[in-house]
Amino acid sequence: MSDSKSKKIAVVTGASAGIGAVYAERLAARGYDLVLVARRAERLEALSAKVSKTYGTKVEVIDADLTKEVDLARVEKVLATDPAVRILVNNAGNATLAPIAQTSAEDAASMIALNVTALTRLTQAVLPAFLSRNAGVIINVASVLSLHSLPISSIYSGTKGYVLNFSRGLQELADTGVKLQVVLPASTATEIWDLSGVPLAALNQDTVMTAENLVDAALAGFDKGEAITLPSVADATLWDKYDAARSTLFAATQTGQPAPRYKAP
């Protein structure tokens, strides 16, 4: 993912604000034209004007609600048919943070539709073309709540846990030129907090990263070849230990027998 005289396209979902908007600016600075996807067309147009003026970037704006079939299909078509697409940033997501008994069926369905279904379908749409060219980049934005669940985050954590496991399971990318990175942000200063029901102001501000720092760290991780990036974690060996423990635990399940503690005396 480097600068090039030949213009290529990066598609960024959830690009109207926050993490997605910063990805759009940073990728424009790296020489990519953009396809920006979000529900708020006026914000996309403003961002388009900004990056076009600053970087000379060609920008296509797609006003789309990815929880709606017709809008999702429009974006799928771009990913599947435009040979200039080189990067997909699956950033669009939403959160309702509340106990599940206080979460409406509509809010739960919306989180699953956007965080899980849309991300899966957009990945499926772009992957055949990437594999046929043996080149391309998919960046899936998950969350540290992929690894942890709070009393108010059961659905959100479930959807982001899916993003992590879905991404890690794409074994067809092994030994190809297609790269996939999963980014696990911790608390980040974006509008998702106020929309979630937990105001950003209620958080310990010492734990909150700016969207700019988050994206810059994530892209630095990508440049280093990381498949999984935790931008706020200083000790990289913590992930290695976690992943080793996960692998050990999984291996321990493969016995075909009940564990001795479950056998009758």
Give catalytic residue positions.
156
CB 16 within 8 A of CB 45: no
Tell me the one-letter amino acid at 5. Answer: K
C-alpha neighbours within 13 Å on the C-beta side of residue 80: 10
Question: How far apart are alpha carbons 103 and 88 in whole angstroms?
Answer: 31
DSSP 208: P
d(CA 38, CA 256): 48
The SS3 assignment for 10 reads strand
